[in-house]
Amino acid sequence: MAQFAMTMARRWARLPVPLQVALIYAVARAVTTVMMVVAAQQSTSLSRFGAEPGLVDFVLGWDAQWYWLVAEEGYPAELPLTASGEVAENAWAFMPVFAYAAKVVGLPFGSWGMGAFLISFVAGYGACLALHRLLRDRIGRSAAMWSVAFFASGPLAAMFQVGYAESLFLLMLFVALDLMARRRYVWLYALIPVMAFTRPGILAFALYIGLHGILRLVRRHQDPLDGRDVVHILALGALATVCGFAWQVIAAVVTGDPGAYLATELAWRRNWILGGVEGFIPFEGWIQASQFWFGQWGLPAAWGPVALVILVVGAAAALLYAPQVRALGVDLRLWSASYLIYLLAVFFPQSSTFRLLLPLSPLWGAMAVPRSRLWRGGVLIGCLVAQWAWIFPMYALGNTFWQVP
């Protein structure tokens, strides 16, 4: 048995990296498909999907409906209002790249859903390849491949098979992070605008570019910083910032309402806050949410902000001091910090929180650094258990406010 295992290990090592990643990804997708089939069988008439839905229903479920609406009808020139006169949920909350790309890809099949599935599926494989490239020189080829396995099998792995923009965004994000690390700045001028109009988050990348520039300035004696790189860093930071606010400007011009985009985003938050919300205040969402959730759990609402502070301090300590995280390099830690600050500033934590943490996926590398087979196997099993724990309530049940992916 030991000899057989060694033979298989040698054969595996001789396979090209793209093929290794493809095999891992294919197995992971097969496992996810089985989970979704079982979830469909467990679905009842009380679920959003009804009794015995098909996999196509899951592909087109939840936010995929909004992307489909964008592809078919575009964006409203007049913001829809609720009975109380507030801005209602509408398509302006969803960026156009994925919606229209799925429409183009789906044309030969006569199906937007098929286009959405193919983009998510193929982009997911591309993201796995990009993640391996991003990590391999930092933690080694083996650990990078384990990181890919964790990523492809993780709690939110169903995103690789449904009509959401996450796979496409992650592919571009990992490529962008790799380009930054390798100082290939020129390619980012084309990539950043596409990222910005795929899903929100480019402002976090703008912050990361700024921190990257400061780091290079501080380390200029070890890592020479010439004038050309300074120009690229400043220009890319400005481009990412402009692109980050561009969608708000476009929504304002089309609707004639300067606050159209923020009002649209707040339409979702009003469903969670008793009495609604008056306007957007940075960082307020997490404070409100901490009080809301502690109240839901039967705990004193005043404990929520205290728990939030502890959570923030813990995350900062992990990024600064955890040896497994430090092994990923300063730049990926800066990206993680930038994205977490962005989420703290703009997001209201609710059922989509775990999905919005996907851009932190390079941190899977920290989970793969320990070389123990028992540890890595345990992490992989944990990923699969967590995946089912996410798929079942979101797709088999899916009938209450905290069951929205």
- Start-to-end CA distance of the chain, whole Å, equals 43
Q: Burial letters for 204-234: b for 16+ Cβ neighbours within 10 Å, e otherwise?
A: bbbbbbbbbbeebeeeeeeeebeeebeebbe
What pLDDT shows up at residue 2? 65
Residues 65, 93 contacting (CB under 8 angstroms): no
Residues 216, 223 contacting (CB under 8 angstroms): yes
Q: How many CB atoms are closer than 10 A to CB 188?
A: 21
d(CA 106, CA 109): 5
Is residue 216 included in any domain, yes or no? no
Q: How many CB atoms are closer than 10 A to CB 261?
A: 23
Is residue 82 included in any domain, yes or no? yes
Kindly give, in sequence order, each residue whose CB lies less than 8 Å from that of residue 307, ignoring residues fewer than 6 positions away.
290, 294
Confidence of residue 137 (pLDDT cuts 50, 70, 90): very high
Domain encompassing residue 36: 17-182+373-405
Q: Name the most confidently modeled range: 47-51, 219-223, 337-341.
A: 337-341
What pLDDT shows up at residue 83? 84
Q: What is the pLDDT of residues 156-208, one digit of tens each?
A: 999 999 999 999 999 999 999 999 999 999 999 999 999 999 999 999 999 99
Residue whose token pair is 């996907």: 358
Is residue 262 included in any domain, yes or no? no
What pLDDT shows up at residue 296? 77
Is residue 208 included in any domain, yes or no? no
Across the chain, mean pLDDT equals: 91
Rg (CA), the chain: 22
Residues 356, 331 contacting (CB under 8 angstroms): no
Q: Which of 99, 231, 160 is nearest to 405 (CA)?
A: 160
User: Dihedral of CA 265/266/267/273: which sign?
Assistant: positive
d(CA 405, CA 92): 18
The stretch 139-165 carries a mean pLDDT of 96
Angle at 376 between CA 350 and CA 6, to 5 degrees: 150
Confidence of residue 90 (pLDDT cuts 50, 70, 90): very high
d(CA 359, CA 347): 14
Kindly give, in sequence order, each residue whose CB lies less than 8 Å from that of residue 270, ignoring residues fewer than 6 positions away.
86, 276, 277
Q: Which amino acid is at 192?
A: I
Residues 204, 338 contacting (CB under 8 angstroms): yes
Is residue 273 included in any domain, yes or no? no
Is residue 284 included in any domain, yes or no? no
**pLDDT at residue 49 greater than cutoff 70:** yes
Pick the more confident residue, 205 or 285: 205
Distances (CA, A) of 310 to 170, 191, 304, 317: 28, 36, 10, 10
Q: What is the pLDDT of residues 218-240, one digit of tens each?
A: 999 898 899 999 999 999 999 99
d(CA 39, CA 391): 7
Structure tokens given for 277: 């919300």
Q: Which of 143, 145, 142, 148 is nearest to 128 (CA)?
A: 148
What share of residues in the chain are helix, strand, coil (percent, to 5)? Answer: 70, 0, 25
Is residue 131 included in any domain, yes or no? yes
d(CA 218, CA 213): 9
Distances (CA, A) of 6 to 12, 21, 268: 10, 20, 54
**pLDDT at residue 402 greater than cutoff 70:** no
Bridge partners, residue 87, by sequence: 81
Is residue 52 included in any domain, yes or no? yes
Kindly give, in sequence order, each residue whose CB lies less than 8 Å from that of residue 358, ignoring residues fewer than 6 positions away.
156, 159, 166, 170
Number of domains in the chain: 1
Q: Which of 355, 297, 274 is nearest to 288 (CA)?
A: 274
Distances (CA, A) of 297 to 200, 290, 348: 30, 11, 17
